[in-house]
């Protein structure tokens, strides 16, 4: 994403979005000014207050959110192992699929 500053022909600022996933995470960014100076920051999107749920649904929501967070962490672990296997050798991710899945399940 490029943010144009004043209407000078050569001056502009480049904003690079860091990869962040999840609705409750902060949006991290880096701004590279035309002078070469780099500034980093983070944004939070204000989604408003959370509405109360009914008493019967609270335990269900808690368990569901816990399950989703665990899956999110497990997928992240698997992707790290998958990328490492891809770097080690050709078709390494296929050869290491079983052991990578076993490691993710064991550490979850």
Q: Report yes or no on whether pTM surpasses 0.85.
A: no
- Residue identified by tokens 């980093």 is 40
12 with 34: CB under 8 angstroms?
A: yes
Question: For residue range 43-93, what is the model confidence (pLDDT) as tens digits?
Answer: 777 778 888 889 999 999 999 999 999 999 999 999 999 999 999 999 999
H or E stretch at 90? none
Return the axis-axis angle of helices 97-106 and 58-88, rounded to nearest 10°: 140
Residue 53 confidence (pLDDT): 87
Q: Do 60 and 30 belong to one domain?
A: no
| Domain interval for residue 68 | 55-108
- Residue identified by tokens 């100076």 is 37
Confidence of residue 30 (pLDDT cuts 50, 70, 90): confident
Q: Do 40 and 82 belong to one domain?
A: no
50: in domain? no
């Amino acid at each position: 994403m490029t943010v144009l500053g004043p209407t000078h022909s050569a001056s502009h600022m480049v904003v690079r979005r860091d990869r962040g996933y999840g609705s409750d995470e902060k949006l991290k960014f880096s701004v590279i000014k035309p002078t070469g100076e780099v500034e980093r920051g983070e944004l939070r999107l204000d989604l408003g207050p959370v509405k109360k749920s009914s008493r019967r649904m609270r335990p269900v929501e808690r368990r569901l959110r816990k399950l989703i967070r665990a899956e999110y962490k497990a997928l992240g672990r698997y992707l790290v192992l998958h990328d490492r296997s891809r770097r080690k050798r050709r078709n390494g991710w296929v050869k290491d699929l079983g052991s990578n899945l076993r490691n993710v399940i064991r550490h979850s």
